[in-house]
Structure 1
């Protein structure tokens, strides 16, 4: 469950910025991300364990500067889509470099003797792919919401919630299934 705490800056941003006030959402996301990165690094966590938190710090630093410099940007309604696009890029990028972002988190929960196994890497590649796909689909959906239904706050929140909840449920379920299949 601790792995999901890394998504807190993104989740808080989604709620704060939904009312077209992305400046406060960006600042809040940045503060939470920096605090999480600081606490995690102080606790001795490696960068591979806090990919999402570090990604959030970079994203929200950039977004905060942009939102303060251009507060009435035409991109404002697309903030939720940009968040998911960035998360998708983070997840897909980690797969491209063959270091799925879930590996570091999974290592904190798995016995050390399986960390280097192809099975462990494959399970995390599948989980990261599901996260990446969910973020990509959500980014595409959220890119169309402002034009199709500009005041559909509930729809934006539902898409955002599903883009986190469904992969989180899969990440909890899939390793158990993969382990059972490996044992058979």
Structure 2
């Protein structure tokens, strides 16, 4: 998965992260923007699979709770809830045997390889990395909400885990392809 496609797949969450800062008004705008992006991307099939449903469900519920009911508990816990929704969604895809990264990896993989055990294992690993990242960010969001450590430390830790997961997601499949190509070059000819 290319870095740009990866960013695109998380566009609603990224928009929410960027917009929903500091004021209730910005949180409301961020929720509406993320909900609209989630729905439009789902309709255009730019966003797919369980993570799409997690996004649409989360942003619909959070938008109703915040805009419709001005639910302060939801507002206070929004960071924990958002990261927790992504973590749960990611872990569920692993538990049901359909790692969410498969939906994106299949876009640029020969259909003949879709059921290859290596292809499946790579996507299980990539989804596990994301699930662990979202789980860590859920804990970081909780620490931030409780003001247990400085805000900048929480943000630095959160962004670092996300960047590391994105970098690994881009690097690892390319690394495996290069390794397989090298192995083919040095493989002896059958007698």
Q: Give the alignment's TM-score, normalised by structure 2.
A: 0.82
Residue 9 of structure 1 corresponds to 12
How many angstroms does 1:162 deviate by?
A: 2.9
- 2:141 corresponds in structure 1 to 142
Aligned equivalent of 1:58: 57
2:172 to 150, 168, 174: 174
1:39 aligns with 2:37: no
Instruction: Provide the rounded CA distance (Å) in 1 between the counterparts of 2:62 and 2:29.
Output: 11
- Residue-by-residue CA offset, 1:97-120 (whole Å, 9 max, x unaligned): 000000011011112221110000
Deviation at residue 173 of structure 1 after TM alignment: 1.0
Say if 2:113 and 2:119, in contact at 8 Å, map to a contact too. yes
More relative contact order in 1 or in 2 (CA 8 Å, sep 6+)? Answer: 1
In structure 1, C-alpha distance between the alignment counterparts of 2:154 and 2:16, rounded to whole Å = 12
Count of residues paired in the alignment: 177
Select between 72-81 and 135-144 the one with higher mean Cα deviation: 72-81
Deviation at 1:159, TM superposition (A): 4.1
Structure 1 pair 7/149, CA: closer, same or farther in 2 (3 Å)?
same
Write out aligned runs for 1:27-176 (5 A): 27-40=32-45, 49-148=48-147, 152=151, 154-155=152-153, 157-176=155-174
Runs of 4+ in 1 over 6 A off after TM superposition: none
Superimposed CA distance per residue, residues 28-70 of structure 1 (whole angstroms, 9 cap, x where no aligned partner): 1101111111122xxxx7x8x4443332111100110111233
5+ residue gaps, structure 1:
none
Distance in structure 2 (CA, Å) of the matches to 1:110 and 1:132: 23
TM-score normalised by length of structure 1: 0.84
Deviation at 1:78? 2.3
Cα deviation for residue 72 of structure 1 reads 4.9
* Contact preservation (8 Å) 2:38, 2:55: yes
CA contact (8 A) 2:65 2:71 kept: no
Give the Cα separation in 2 of the matches to 1:31 and 1:156.
28
